[in-house]
């Protein structure tokens, strides 16, 4: 054995010891959870505490950041641990028997995603299973109805391709009940019998959902015909049996390995967050202890009259039930009439939920309850942009308190906009970006470099601004510069670096989009699409942004009035995208002491006239790092919902806007004092 091999062997032995220790710690954690469940069993309280879970996730993410470990990875691991803990407590409260074998039907063959989801569900319930795969969803449901299986695990929706219509049809047609749900992260790869170039592949086999979830990748292989197959794992097996190097299959890496195939490309899904939600079906409904967080699913047919659906939904909202899904389907035999599939948080065993369902039956034409079951697929709770605690030795200025209490002037109506007008909506619009809320009472800090210059630069900046309280990572990848000889940005490569840094630091990202043909591609990666000052009245661009489901940060034009600015926002909102964030970044005046004149009075005017959130960019507003922090503090006092600040690890070496970029210590000082500034109350 060479010296290098000996060194690797020793390191692998160390790694094995660490891995064994992790498993032992998980077992120890499970024992503690069991003891907690025993205590909770004696009381009436719910087993799940969202605030406690969020605190745990935030705590381990902060620890990961201190240790130089991926916070995103640690959060994913602990979400799984928390989910397993809730399932463990739920089993005890519900009196579920563990250890016995259940017959489970699924669609596909061994190593299919449905197979993996079924095994995950059984493990969470402490059950052993005899799993049988069937060619179609209907075959699996028929096996359940015929008594050949006790449970059936079927996919019902995917975060990329959407809902599985055939499974919804089965729920409508048959007496099947949902008794559980499970989620699975779908990791698609392309595999073949030999390591061939993609250009040599002439046929790609997969389930139609697999093709749909990888559509963007498949467009890069125009020479390859798509061959639908009943299952992704079955497609892998078929390719292995054919031994044809020109045939490939889309499926899981595990299925490729099981069939001894060569993986040609990994991670080919259109989106990284590609999850499938599975429902667990049974012939009878299963009662669930009221202390277990539950969802209830139902089919709803409304009366054919004006406002009928609204009245039904008001029954749920008025009784305190949060709806998690609403989907329409054509009503069989009744052209142009529709039924609705509804999911909401609640348990039919709870008297309040039972009463709401009785009221709903009176309001609707038809209600079929598909079951109440322990909830797994829930969005991560959102959090308002928070700030570090104010230093104890600093008190807010009385002058700022007087400004915050000043009465608002009456709003003037405009002929140029109506949807963004305060008269159209009295309540402030609050926009969710990842798990951050922008608007309302929150204050969001968006920070990062003017331009993404390198992987090292953006990663270092992301980590620092996150650790000091920033909520969103900013970075330019396409840069509109006054001079054609100035740095124009890294383009799409820069976008990849920005998105990767955002994921690593667990922050959503904002970047500027400059052209209509960039919108769709950028919307698939960036969390907020920024419209720069020069494009504020690029109406074709604004219309295109109104067609995508992404928040838009609209900067004020160099010499634009507030009226023109709000009219520009109307272009986006009128196309259907209500997620517009306004950004005051200074206007051009005769004054030359600063790069622009930062019009902080615009914050008060906009909050009076519009329901849209407004933030301030003190970096471009002043052009001088010496003035950025004071103007950021003033923006908070004026009532802004956040700030957009440029931060660079070495401002003197920045490729763009070096004069206005803050160094890390300067940003830390800004954030340290920001919490001591009182926010102005809402003007709506």
Which tens digit of pLDDT belongs to each residue from 352-374? 999 999 999 888 888 999 999 99
Q: Predicted confidence band at 27 (pLDDT cuts at 50, 70, 90)? A: confident
Q: Which residue has the tokens 């065993």?
A: 349
Q: Single out the residue of 255, 271, 252, 167 nearest to residue 212, CA to CA.
A: 271
Give the span between the Cα atoms of 309 and 301, in whole angstroms.
9
Nearest to 466, CA basis, from 512, 511, 504 = 504
pLDDT at 35: 83
> What's residue 72's pLDDT?
79
Provide mean pLDDT across the span 406-431. Answer: 74
- Cβ(114)–Cβ(278) below 8 Å: yes
Q: What is the torsion angle, in degrees rounded to the nearest 10, for the CA atoms of residue 551, residue 557, residue 558 and residue 561?
A: -130
Is residue 114 over pLDDT 50? Answer: yes
What mean pLDDT do residues 529-548 have? 95
Asked whether residue 400 carries a pLDDT value surpassing 50, the answer given is no
Q: Is 278 exposed, middle or buried (0-12, 13-18, 19+ CB in 10 A)?
A: buried
Name, in order, each residue with C-beta under 8 angstroms of 378's C-beta and a sequence gap of 6 or more: 324
Please give the structure tokens belonging to residue 114: 């449905």
403 vs 29, higher pLDDT: 29
Quick one: which H or E segment has residue 263?
Answer: strand 262-265
| pLDDT tier for residue 99 given thresholds of 50, 70 and 90 | low
pLDDT at residue 290 tops 70: yes
- Here the tokens at position 414 are 């405009």
pLDDT for the residue numbered 215: 94
Please state whether beta strands 203-206 and 225-228 pair in parallel, antiparallel, or not at all (unpaired).
parallel
Q: Is the pLDDT of residue 380 over 70?
A: no
Residue 4 has pLDDT above 70, yes or no: no
Coil vs helix vs strand at 282: strand
Question: Is the distance from CB of 405 to CB of 213 less than 8 angstroms?
Answer: no
pLDDT at 540: 96
Where is mean pLDDT largest: 326-340, 471-485, 659-673? 659-673
The Cα–Cα gap between 296 and 279 comes to: 12
Compute CA distances 529 → 153, 542, 684, whole Å: 39, 11, 26
pLDDT of residue 96: 63
CA gap 177, 283 in Å, rounded:
6
The pLDDT mean for the chain works out to 89
Strand pairing partners for 437?
A: 384, 432
- Residues 164, 170: Cα–Cα separation, whole Å: 10
> Going along 65-150, which residue ranges are E strands?
101-107, 128-134
Q: How far is CA 71 from CA 63, 424, 458, in A?
A: 8, 41, 16
Residue 2 Rama label (left phi>0; alpha psi -120 to 50; beta): beta
Q: What is the distance between the alpha carbons of residues 144 and 543, in angstroms, rounded to a whole number?
A: 50
pLDDT at residue 288 is higher than 50: yes
User: What pLDDT score was predicted for residue 624?
Assistant: 95
Min mean pLDDT across 59-63, 171-175, 311-315, 338-342 is at 59-63
Query: What are the CA-CA distances from residue 654 to residues 64, 161, 337, 457 (Å)?
Result: 28, 41, 60, 10
Are the CB atoms for 105 and 143 separated by under 8 Å?
Answer: yes
What was the pLDDT predicted at 286?
92
Q: In order of start, what are the domains of the chain with their CATH numbers? A: 3-94 (1.20.59.10), 100-186+272-285 (3.40.190.10), 189-268 (3.40.190.10), 292-375 (3.30.70.260), 419-674 (3.20.20.70)
Q: How far apart are CA 511 and CA 469, in angstroms?
A: 19
Task: Please give the positions annotated as active site.
Answer: 276, 278
CB atoms under 10 Å from CB of 228, counted, come to 12
pLDDT value of residue 407:
47
Structure tokens at 192: 């073949």
Q: What's the full length of the chain, in residues?
A: 684
Which distant-in-sequence residues (6+ apart) come within 8 Å of 431 by Cβ? Answer: 437, 438, 439, 551, 579, 581, 613
């Amino acid at each position: 054995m060479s010296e290098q091999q000996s060194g690797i062997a020793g390191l692998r032995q160390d790694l094995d010891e660490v891995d064994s220790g992790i498993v032992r710690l998980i077992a120890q954690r499970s024992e503690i959870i069991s003891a907690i469940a025993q205590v909770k069993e004696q009381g009436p309280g719910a087993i799940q505490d969202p605030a406690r879970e969020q605190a745990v996730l935030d705590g381990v993410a902060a620890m990961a950041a201190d240790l130089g470990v991926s916070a995103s990875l640690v959060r994913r691991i602990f979400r799984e641990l928390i989910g397993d803990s809730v399932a463990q407590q739920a089993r005890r409260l519900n009196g579920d028997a563990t250890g016995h074998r259940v017959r489970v039907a699924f669609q596909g063959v061994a190593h299919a995603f449905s197979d993996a989801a079924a095994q995950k569900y059984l493990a969470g319930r402490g059950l052993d299973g005899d799993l049988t795969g069937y060619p179609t969803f209907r075959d699996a449901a028929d096996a359940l109805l015929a008594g050949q299986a006790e449970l059936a695990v079927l996919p019902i929706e995917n975060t990329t391709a959407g809902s599985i219509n055939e499974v919804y049809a089965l729920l409508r047609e048959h007496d099947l009940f949902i008794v559980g749900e499970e989620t699975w992260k779908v990791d698609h790869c392309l595999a073949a019998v030999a390591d061939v170039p993609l250009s040599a592949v002439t046929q790609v086999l997969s389930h139609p959902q697999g093709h749909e979830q990888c559509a963007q990748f498949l467009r890069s292989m125009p020479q390859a015909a798509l061959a639908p197959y009943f299952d992704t794992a079955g497609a892998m097996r078929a390719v292995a049996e054919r031994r044809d190097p020109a045939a490939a299959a889309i499926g899981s890496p595990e299925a490729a390995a099981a069939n001894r195939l060569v993986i040609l490309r990994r991670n080919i899904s259109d989106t990284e967050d590609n999850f499938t939600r599975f429902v667990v079906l049974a012939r009878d409904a299963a009662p669930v202890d009221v202390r277990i967080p539950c969802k209830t699913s139902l089919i709803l047919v409304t009366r054919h009259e004006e406002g009928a659906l609204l009245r039904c939904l008001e029954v749920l909202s008025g009784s305190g039930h949060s709806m998690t899904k609403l989907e329409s389907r054509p009503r069989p035999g009744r052209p142009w009439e529709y039924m609705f599939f509804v999911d909401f948080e609640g348990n039919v065993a709870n008297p309040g939920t039972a009463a709401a369902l009785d009221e709903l039956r009176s309001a609707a034409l038809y209600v079929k309850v598909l079951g109440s079951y322990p909830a797994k697929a829930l969005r991560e709770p959102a959090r308002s942009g928070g700030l570090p605690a104010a230093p104890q030795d600093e008190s807010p200025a009385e002058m700022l308190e007087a400004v915050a209490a000043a009465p608002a002037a009456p709003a003037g109506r405009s002929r140029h906009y109506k949807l963004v007008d305060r008269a159209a909506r009295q309540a402030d619009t609050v926009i969710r970006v990842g798990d951050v809320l922008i608007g309302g009472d929150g204050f969001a800090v968006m920070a990062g470099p003017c331009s993404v210059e390198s992987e090292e630069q953006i990663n270092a900046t992301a980590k620092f601004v996150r650790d000091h309280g920033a909520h969103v990572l900013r970075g330019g990848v396409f840069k509109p510069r006054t001079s054609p000889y100035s740095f124009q940005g890294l383009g799409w490569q820069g976008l990849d670096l920005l998105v990767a840094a955002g994921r690593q630091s667990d922050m959503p990202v904002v970047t500027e989009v400059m052209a209509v043909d960039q919108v769709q591609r950028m919307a698939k990666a960036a969390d907020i699409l920024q419209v720069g000052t020069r494009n504020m009245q690029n109406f074709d661009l604004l219309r295109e942004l109104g067609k995508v489901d992404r928040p838009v940060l609209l900067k004020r034009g160099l010499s634009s009035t507030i009226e023109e600015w709000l009219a520009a926002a109307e272009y986006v909102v009128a196309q259907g995208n209500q997620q517009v964030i306004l950004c005051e970044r200074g206007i051009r005046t005769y004054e030359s002491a600063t790069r622009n004149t930062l019009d902080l009075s615009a914050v008060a005017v906009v909050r009076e006239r519009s329901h849209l959130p407004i933030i301030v960019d003190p970096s471009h507003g002043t052009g001088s790092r010496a003035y950025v922090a004071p103007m950021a503090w003033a923006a908070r006092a004026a009532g802004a919902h956040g700030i957009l600040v440029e931060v660079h690890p070495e401002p003197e070496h920045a490729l763009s806007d070096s004069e206005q970029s803050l160094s890390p210590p300067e940003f830390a000082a800004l954030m340290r004092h920001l919490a001591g500034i009182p926010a102005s109350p809402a003007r709506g």
